[in-house]
Structures are given as structure tokens and as C-alpha cells.
Structure 1
Amino acid sequence: MQDPKALKEIAIQSQFEPYPGVRDGKGYPGVRAKAPEQYSFNLTELLEPVIKTNFDVPELLAIRKSICMFSLTTTPANELGPLQCTPHFDASTPNHMAVLLYLCDQQHGGTGFYRHKKTGLQQITAGNRESYLDIYYEEINAERPQQRYFDESNSQFTFLGMIPAKFNRLVVYRGSLLHSACINPAISINANPDSGRLTVNTFYDF
């Protein structure tokens, strides 16, 4: 963004609401507010050709997008549900893209990527989704995940690397990759857009 501070100021003035499902320990563990339409328009105009070129998306496919949302992580670790304590994937379709704009700095961690140890999978596709989920649920039912925000490796997942948070950094990755927000619980569980782990989240599919 040419003026990311102006976008952050809009977030500071916005009314945030809990993410649907957060009370049930599912989905994004925090609150969200709608980002400006102009940001959404500019982002799509910029990213459509970039995504198609760099992720080998066929030119003839039409772009579909979600609403752009400001997001803040607010759920304490001891209130997380089991599905929020392990890496996840957003979709198993081949051209589903997650786009994340950081409006916070490196103190707030980043986005981590993982390999599932038992299956060796890093990416969940239509072909392996059901077999992966069968094994995944069997594992977490046998041993409940530690109630924490996931970051490093454990007996179920291997940590492959992280894209660090940086103010005004835009990250694009396939939603089918196993990933998790790596956060700093000491400062990132915070509902204040000015000091919390503020991001703008968007999803595209083709």
C-alpha cells in the first residue's frame, strides 16, 4: 500500500464483530470488520494477473473473491478449540488463494507452513482430502492437541518455515497448503487495532 497508515486508521475507527463459529472453537480465533471497497477493488485489479502468472492459473478462468476483512486475534489460548490448535487448510480446490496484508510488525509472528507427519502431506487436494481428514481426526481424537497457538513442530506436524509479519507486507499463498498463524501470545491477543495483530484477509478462487 502506498499509504498503509491510512488503511490502519480506518481499521481503528471500525466496529469489529466476533468471527462466526469462534464461540464454538472453530474458524478464525478473533474479531473482524469489513475493509473498504476501494481497497478490495485495487487489490483485485493488482493481484489477478500476478496470481495467474505466478501460480499457473489458466487465463480463461474468472476470478471470484471473498469480502476483504480486517482481522484481529483475540481468543486466549486456553479458550481455543482443538481445530484451532493445529495447522489447517482453507480449501482443497487447486486455485484457491489466501491473501494477507499485515498491518502489524514482526513482533506479532507471521504465517507458518507445515507437513503432516503420518501422511507426508503439505497440500490438501480433492484427491487426498478425505483420507487426510480421516487420519487427522483420528489423531486429535486419540490425543487432544495442546491448547496453544500452533507454531513449532509436534508429534503430528513438522514446521517447514514461516513468512514473518512486517508492516505493509502482502502475502499470497495457496489455501490448500497446511498453515497456521504464528503469534506472540504476550502481545497478539489484543482487540485494539492500533497495537494488536491487525491483518486484512481476502480469499480468491478461479
Structure 2
Amino acid sequence: MKAIGISSSFHPYPNFDKKKGYPGIRAQAPAEYSNTITEFLEPLIKLNFGVPEELALRKSMCAFSLTTMHANDLSPLQRTPHFDASSPHHMAVLLYLCDERHGGTGFYRHKATGLQQITEATREHYLDVYYEEINAVRPPTRYFDDSNEHFSFLGMIPAKFNRLVIYRGSLLHTACINPALSINDNPRSGRLTVNTFYDF
């Protein structure tokens, strides 16, 4: 897969210039990989994450990703933990095509609300508190990877070549990166991953 990523054509993520969403570039992953990994993972996700068997799978994206935005260019929202969706069965699947020098994926608890997972029932309250905090004091210009006055660091799944990570998109999380190494648009040496998202 890494060889395919190296030969792929990468483009900025939508709204990259507006400093929203993923702070990097992406390239379409092969349909063969996308279809094979989906066929393999669907029953495992349903079994291990308690997804009702009758719910149909919907796949929204499968793409190579490289982190390329320098910390000084990140918007305030990109400098804190985030969640992908508040729906109960939204799943993120991350394949690392880089090694442990590129950090990993960190998970957090929001101190003021006590939340580490954002549901449809808690979403509005969480966002009200979160925006009040972020508007009162802008977060430091760095990629978030630790505890601060608003978030407690719960742990990290380290990057490892060919490691596949699956987690609920409703969990508060960040990409923990090595700024000296991972801000890189070269798929040979950058923080190359394959990101796939499912909902049920």
C-alpha cells in the first residue's frame, strides 16, 4: 500500500485554505483496498462495537493522508481535540503507513463536561461549553497531544507501520504528531496514513 501511496497524486483537503478540517493533503485510495478492507471489517466492527446486525454500512471516504500544515497556520479549532460525528455508530479506521516516530492517535476527556465521547444527546451542551472556552482563551499554536486546563489526556495508540486502528468517531481525539518530522508532503518520509470512515 505504501508504494501506491508514494505514486499517488495528493491534493489539499476541502477547506484546507479556510483552515477547517484535516490539516493536510489527501489522495484517493485504491478501490480494491477500500472494498477488501470493508468486507473484512464490517462483521468485526459489528461484533466488537455492538452495532446492530440489521444496520447497513455506509462508507464515506477512503484516502491516503499526509499532515502538511505548520502549527503556526492552524486555526483554533485545529489546535484542540475534536470528534468526527456524534452519531452512535460512526467509525474511523486508520492504517498507519509510517512508523512510531510519527506519534499516534491520542484520546481525551473534556474537563468541564466530563465527556470523552460526544453523542447526539450531549453534542449541543458540549459545543456550547467548548466554544465558550476557545473564544475566551485561544489555544497555543501547536498540534494538541497532551493535557491542558480544558482536556485530560487519556492515552495514545502509537503509530506503527501497517498498524490498523479502529475507533468510534464520537470520541474526542487528535493526531499526535512529531512536528519536526511529520509536517511533510513527501509520502516516503511523512506521516502517511489511509483513513476510512463508516457509519451504520
Relative to the length of structure 2, the TM-score reads 0.99
Deviation at 1:25, TM superposition (A): 1.4
Letter of the 2:53 partner, please give it: E
> What is the alpha-carbon distance in structure 1 between the residues aligned to residue 48 and residue 191 of structure 2?
28
Identity of aligned pairs, percent? 74
Structure 1 position 177 matched with structure 2 position 171: yes
Deviation at 1:67, TM superposition (A): 2.5
Contact 1:190–1:197 (CA under 8 A) maintained in structure 2: yes
Deviation at 1:177, TM superposition (A): 0.2
Structure 1 position 9 matched with structure 2 position 3: yes
SS of structure 2 residue aligned to 1:202? strand
Per-residue CA deviations over 1:80-126 (Å, capped at 9, x if unaligned) read: 00010000000000000000000000000000000000000000000
Q: Which residue of 1 aligns with 2:59?
A: 65
Q: Which residue of 1 aligns with 2:129?
A: 135
Contact 1:25–1:82 (CA under 8 A) maintained in structure 2: no
Deviation at 1:32, TM superposition (A): 0.2
Structure 1 position 42 matched with structure 2 position 50: no
Q: Which residue of 2 aligns with 1:83?
A: 77
Q: Which residue of 1 aligns with 2:151?
A: 157
In the alignment, structure 2 segments of 5+ residues that lack a partner are none
Relative to the length of structure 1, the TM-score reads 0.96
Deviation at 1:33, TM superposition (A): 0.2
SS of structure 1 residue aligned to 2:61? coil
Deviation at 1:22, TM superposition (A): 1.4
RMSD: 0.5
Contact 1:108–1:184 (CA under 8 A) maintained in structure 2: yes
Deviation at 1:23, TM superposition (A): 1.2
Q: Which residue of 2 aligns with 1:24?
A: 18
Letter of the 2:172 partner, please give it: L
Deviation at 1:21, TM superposition (A): 1.2
> What is the alpha-carbon distance in structure 2 between the residues aligned to residue 37 and residue 129 of structure 1?
33
> What is the alpha-carbon distance in structure 1 between the residues aligned to residue 4 and residue 170 of structure 2?
31
In the alignment, structure 1 segments of 5+ residues that lack a partner are 1-6
2:91 equivalent among 91, 97, 120? 97
Structure 1 position 110 matched with structure 2 position 104: yes
Contact 1:32–1:71 (CA under 8 A) maintained in structure 2: yes
> What is the alpha-carbon distance in structure 2 between the residues aligned to residue 20 and residue 147 of structure 1?
22
Contact 1:123–1:176 (CA under 8 A) maintained in structure 2: yes
> What is the alpha-carbon distance in structure 2 between the residues aligned to residue 77 and residue 67 of structure 1?
25
Q: How many residues align?
A: 200
Q: Which residue of 1 aligns with 2:161?
A: 167
